[in-house]
A and B are shown apart, each in its own frame.
Chain A
Amino acid sequence: MVLIAVQVNGTDHQDEVEPRLLLVQYLRETLGLTGTNIGCDTSSCGACTVLLNGESVKSCTLLAAQADGAEIQTIEGLAPAEGPLHPVQEAFRENHALQCGYCTPGMVMAAVSLLEEEDQLTERTVREGLEGNLCRCTGYHNIVRAVLACAAERGMVPGSVS
């Protein structure tokens, strides 16, 4: 067993874990944070995307032991339970960027990371930035629209007024 200490959505946790425990299993099964979905379990779909020290990662392709010492953010930690939605969540709602919602937690976390990392975004760079996340329902257009709406709000879209 390996002792890990992580901060998840602002709360400190210490747990003894089996070395082969994947981060996504730790989040879902040990901590009960089932907002992070497992889609493909083969590093392809991005449904399991969470932020590790602020950067998007696929939690099905990371050992919980590798995350020892890290700050982790999941979809549950983006906005307070009773408060308003996070701007990216709100933009997804406004722009009808989800249908079944299965890909949405991962999609939102990937978008949050992308918006933090880039200075400017265009339709093309949003599409490229979300290439690690698959959606079987929406055809992506409204997802791209939602992320561009957030980017425009932050003054990150060339030519748009913030």
Chain B
Amino acid sequence: MIPAPFDYVRAGSAEEAVALLVEHGDEAKLLAGGHSLLPLMKLRLAIPSVLIDVGRVHELSFIEEQGDEVAIGALTRHHDLETSSLLKEQVPMLPYIAHQVGDPQVRHRGTLGGSLAHGDPASDLPAAILALGGTLVAQGPGGRREIAAVDFFKGFLETALAPDEMLVEIRVPKAPGAGWSFQKFNRRAQDWAIVGVAAVVNGTTGIALVNMGSTPLRATAVEAAVGGGASVVEAALLAAEGADPPSDINASSEYRRHLATVLVRRALEEATS
């Protein structure tokens, strides 16, 4: 399968990428690792007329301490997340979840920024950043702005990024001692989650759901119940509240709603043990 023809340009920096986005308008798409975009283009579900390859913007591939946060460049690959000793120490859930993404070949190419900007509700890393209460940094023609992870996912494959903005950095709070758990339920190795749950317990509780609606989302009813003193078992029963999970070849919507309650219970048990 061959993508429809397109023009290919390379950006050497975030500024250049943004200038190219401004120049080419919504005909253009950024290309990072290409592991969400190229499969869509091969199926001709995406037909951009210009690809702006940002894969060589090496200055956006980094993992570093910034006060009480860890800052991660948008072009940082899943493989770099899963092997980062700084993350293993300060935010251990993130390398753990990165290791659950696809397979080694996918992790050698796919980037954190690409995974977030794609906004696929079935993806694992958006749930990680949501549960951790991360902050995303977007760069546009007018400079940089910060977007809280909870305000980032707007609809199916839709985010708060404007067409002329590029995601450049993701920041997550350090939490070396936090309780956490990631429950990814799938039937075969390498598969996407049928449902997934990321939970972080660190004074407050953050819970995010994979594949439970049109966007990656927080299980706010469970979070409120835990905050109000409910038991893990009681709180977990609210896992699917406000969620609208899809029915597909792997599971019905109803099955996913049930699965979410089971996985949230397991996640909370593990994160609080």
Q: Which residues of A contact B (CB under 8 A)?
A: 2, 18-20, 22, 25, 41-44, 46, 49, 52, 55-58, 61-63, 65-66, 110, 113-114, 117, 127-129, 131-133
Q: Are B8 and A43 in contact (CB under 8 A)?
A: no
Is B173 an interface position by the 8 A CB rule?
no
Is B109 an interface position by the 8 A CB rule?
yes
Q: Are A49 and B53 in contact (CB under 8 A)?
A: no
A residues within 8 A CB of B109?
57-58, 61-62
Interchain residue pairs with CB less than 8 A apart (28): A2-B8, A19-B5, A20-B2, A20-B3, A20-B4, A20-B5, A20-B6, A22-B2, A42-B42, A43-B35, A43-B38, A43-B106, A46-B103, A46-B105, A56-B104, A57-B105, A57-B109, A58-B109, A61-B109, A62-B34, A63-B31, A63-B34, A66-B31, A66-B55, A110-B104, A127-B189, A132-B105, A132-B190
Task: Write the nearest CB–CB distance from B11 to chain A, whole angstroms.
Answer: 13
Q: Are A132 and B106 CB-contacts (below 8 A) given A42-B39, A63-B34, A65-B53?
A: yes
User: In the complex, what distance in Å separates the CA atom of A132 from the CA atom of B79?
Assistant: 14
User: In the complex, what distance in Å separates the CA atom of A41 from the CA atom of B106?
Assistant: 14
* Chain B contact residues: helix, strand, loop or mixed: loop
Q: Are B108 and A57 in contact (CB under 8 A)?
A: yes
Q: Are B39 and A43 in contact (CB under 8 A)?
A: yes
Task: Write the nearest CB–CB distance from B115 to chain A, whole angstroms.
Answer: 15
CB < 8 Å: which of A2, A41, A66, A133 contacts B34? A66
Task: Write the nearest CB–CB distance from A48 to chain B, whole angstroms.
Answer: 9
A residues within 8 A CB of B103?
46, 131-133
Q: Which residues of B contact A (CB under 8 A)?
A: 1-8, 31, 34-35, 38-39, 42, 51, 53, 55, 79, 102-106, 108-109, 189-190
B residues within 8 A CB of A65?
8, 53
A residues within 8 A CB of B39?
42-43, 61
User: In the complex, what distance in Å separates the CA atom of A144 from the CA atom of B31?
Assistant: 35
B residues within 8 A CB of A22?
2
User: In the complex, what distance in Å separates the CA atom of A132 from the CA atom of B53?
Assistant: 25
Residue with the highest number of chain B CB atoms closer than 10 Å, among A2, A18, A58: A58
B residues within 8 A CB of A66?
31, 34, 53, 55
Q: Are A113 and B104 CB-contacts (below 8 A) given A42-B39, A62-B38, A132-B190?
A: yes
User: In the complex, what distance in Å separates the CA atom of A90 from the CA atom of B5?
Assistant: 42
A residues within 8 A CB of B189?
127-128, 131
CB < 8 Å: which of A19, A49, A57 contacts B6? A19
User: In the complex, what distance in Å separates the CA atom of A62 from the CA atom of B5?
Assistant: 15
Task: Write the nearest CB–CB distance from B38 to chain A, whole angstroms.
Answer: 5
Residue with the highest number of chain B CB atoms closer than 10 Å, among A19, A22, A44, A65: A19
